[in-house]
Each structure stands twice: as structure tokens, then as C-alpha cells.
Amino acid sequence: MDPNASADLSFLRKLVFGVSQNVLDPAQDYLFESRLTGLLRNYGMTRIGELVLHLRARNDPVLERAVAEAMTINETSFFRDRRPFELLRTEVLPRLIESRRSSRSLRLWSAACSTGQEAYSLAMLILDRAATLVGWNIRIEGTDISSEVIARAQAGMYQRAEIERGLTGCHLIRYFDREGEAWTVNPELRSLCNFRQANLCGPRMPFSRAVDRFDLILLRNVMLYFSQEHRRALLAGIHRLLPPDGVLVLGASEQPADPSLWTPVLSGGACYFKPRQPS
Ligand SMILES: C[S@@+](CC[C@H](N)C(=O)[O-])C[C@H]1O[C@@H](n2cnc3c(N)ncnc32)[C@H](O)[C@@H]1O
């Protein structure tokens, strides 16, 4: 084994933390080898040692970013975990729609949206109720740190294996157009969603203007990659973006870092959180 290998991997772990605030477990160092293969090839390199030598020698933010992006885990699917989406369909969205009757406006955020399936799943739940939402202003924002997955979300094109994970035949026929072996979201579905690259743990929240407000935020299966400190800061920022009747949905195994800020609501085997107001 290369005597510098362990120092190189430790250097890369720190680099990834610095760029994306993802905490990588040394027990999973073997992942560097497989995840960085394409990147090494693109840069005409053959070994991780070469890459580290290059990064140690010069400031190269583009390459640093590419390394951090390559190490993100982008696992996702349409209507992932099913139950939270059932809860959104039967309870959360009907209640939000009822309480926004006068403003006729809804703003939703899929934070860490990966390749877009989560945002498009929300969009399908909304469009399934389109008859009651005529004239409404509805926006679904999708953000992710990886520009590669954002480009895929924007394209909205999915292969058969991705379509087969979570989509019903009805949704497929109604909201997707077939292009050879792939399926692309139709213009109606696409028009509800806006995607952009953004870091949830950067110096500024992706949405930080005083007017920024969301009715529903999905922050699922991403906090597990962050340190406790970053989880706290992120959830405090998210709390500021939600009105008192707003809703936060986390991943099935995730909990708010600061439970005093949130009221959990359990229903139908799923859970969402309402922001608690300071007393
Ligand atoms: C496992 S996927 C979850 C996707 C989707 N939310 C779901 O539950 O199916 C995690 C996503 O978080 C993104 N991510 C990781 N660190 C991030 C950060 N600091 N800011 C924004 N997105 C981040 C990754 O690029 C990846 O696409």
C-alpha cells in the first residue's frame, strides 16, 4: 500500500467537509476509489495520489467542488417511502390548500432534491388536484449542492429503472412523455418546478431574503451527512422560512436537531413537523 494513502484520504475527507459539509466515515474510505474514477480520467490522472498532489499544490476550487460532488450520495426515487407522500396527499396538502384560499398561493421546497423525483412527486400531487387550484400561483423549488444532479432534474428525463421505482401507471401516462427508452416529464409538470444548485450549509441559506417563506419543506435523507452543528444551524434557518402553520418533512430516520423548535405530528405511519413559536 502507498505509505501516503492514508494521509491522502484524510486530506480528501477534510476537503469534502470544507466544500459540502458532508462528514465522511473513514470506514468508507474505499468509496473514494470508485467514486473518483471518472473524475481522475477526465483530468488525465490515474491515481488518487496524483489528484491529492495537485490539490495540495494549488488552489483549484473547480476541482475541489468536483471531488465533493462526486462523493455525494444521490439515491432517490419517485414518492420515496410512500407513506409521507400519502400523508401529504390526504392531510397536509388539503389543509394547506384550505388555509391559503384567500392568497391562492403555495410555495414548496425540496431541499436536497437530487435528480428531481421528490420535487416532481410533489408536483404530481398538486396537479392531481388541479381542478380545485385554477388561478393559483404554485411554485416548487428544488435545490441540491451537486450541479450534475440539478442538470438531470432540469432535464426531467428518466430511464425505465427510475420510472419503475415508485411511479404508478396512471401518473406515468398522465405526466410523462415517452422518448425511446426514456420518459420525460411533460411541460405541465415541468412548469411547476424550478431547480438550482445551492449548498444547505453554506454561509447563506439557499433562501434567505426576508420575504422568503415556504408552506411546505421536504428536507429528506440529507441531514444524516452533516455534523450535529450543521444540522442545528440548518434547521434553525428552515424554521425561519416556515409560517406557524407551515410543514417540515424529514427522512424516515431523521429527527430535528433541536426538538424544542418543532411539534411532531404522527399520522398514518408517517410524521411531519410544525414549527413551534417562541413563547
Ligand atoms: C440521498 S439524496 C436525497 C434526495 C431526496 N431528498 C430523497 O430523499 O430522495 C441526498 C442529496 O443531498 C445532497 N447534498 C449533500 N450535501 C448537501 C449540501 N451541503 N447542500 C445541499 N445538498 C446536499 C446530495 O447531493 C444528494 O443529492
- For every residue of 206-234, which 3-state class applies, written as one string? CCCCCCCCCCEEEECCCHHHCCHHHHHHH
Q: Give percent of the chain above pLDDT 70.
A: 99
Distances (CA, A) of 11 to 31, 44, 64, 255: 14, 21, 11, 30
**16 CB under 6 A from ligand 1?**
no
Ligand 1 lined by 112 (C-beta under 6 Å)? yes
| Side chain identity at residue 238, one-letter code | I
Decide whether any atom of ligand 1 lies within 6 Å of the 220 Cβ. yes
Q: Is the CB of 222 under 6 A from ligand 1?
A: yes
What is the 3-class SS of 154-205, one letter each residue?
A: HHCEEEHHHHCCCCCHHHHHHHEEEECCEEEECHHHHHHEEEEECCCCCCCC
Extract the C-alpha cell encoding 113: 432534491
22 Cα nearest atom in ligand 1? 16
The three grid cell numbers given for residue 37, joined into one nine-digit string: 474514477
Whether the per-residue pLDDT at 105 is higher than 90: the answer is yes
CA of 79 to the centre of ligand 1 (A): 16
- pLDDT tens for 194-229 read 999 999 999 999 998 888 999 999 999 999 999 999
| pLDDT score, position 277 | 85
CA distance 97 to 104: 8
Amino acid code (one letter) for 241 = L
Of the candidate CATH numbers 3.50.50.60, 3.20.20.70, 3.40.50.150, 3.40.50.2000, the domain formed by 83-275 belongs to 3.40.50.150
Residue nearest to atom 11 of ligand 1 (CA): 112
Own/partner contacts of 232-240, CB < 8 Å, gap of 24 or more, are: 232/257, 232/258, 233/201, 234/200, 234/201, 234/205, 235/261, 235/262, 236/261, 237/205, 237/208, 238/111, 238/205, 239/275
Higher pLDDT, 16 or 257: 16
Identify the pLDDT of residue 213: 95
Q: Atom of ligand 1 at shortest distance to CA of 80?
A: 9
Would you state the pLDDT for residue 124?
98
Q: Where does the pLDDT of residue 127 fall: very low under 50, low under 70, confident under 90, or very high at 90 and above?
A: very high
Q: Is the CB of 121 under 6 A from ligand 1?
A: no
The bridge status of strand 262-267 relative to strand 270-275 is antiparallel
**Distance from the alpha carbon of residue 222 to the mean position of ligand 1, in angstroms:** 5
Where exactly are the structural domains of the chain? 5-70, 83-275
User: Any idea which of 73-82, 88-97, 202-211, 212-221 has the lowest mean pLDDT?
Assistant: 202-211
Asked whether the predicted pLDDT for residue 1 surpasses 70, the reply is no
Is the distance from the beta carbon of residue 146 to the nearest atom of ligand 1 less than 6 Å?
yes
CA distance 239 to 223: 15
Q: SS3 of 43, please? A: coil
Dist. CA 177 → ligand 1 center (Å): 27
Pick from 78, 79, 77, 52: nearest CA to 64? 52
Nearest protein Cα to ligand 1, atom 26: 74
Q: How far is the CA of 186 from the centre of ligand 1 (A)?
A: 24
Integer Cα distance of 262 and 276 in angstroms: 5
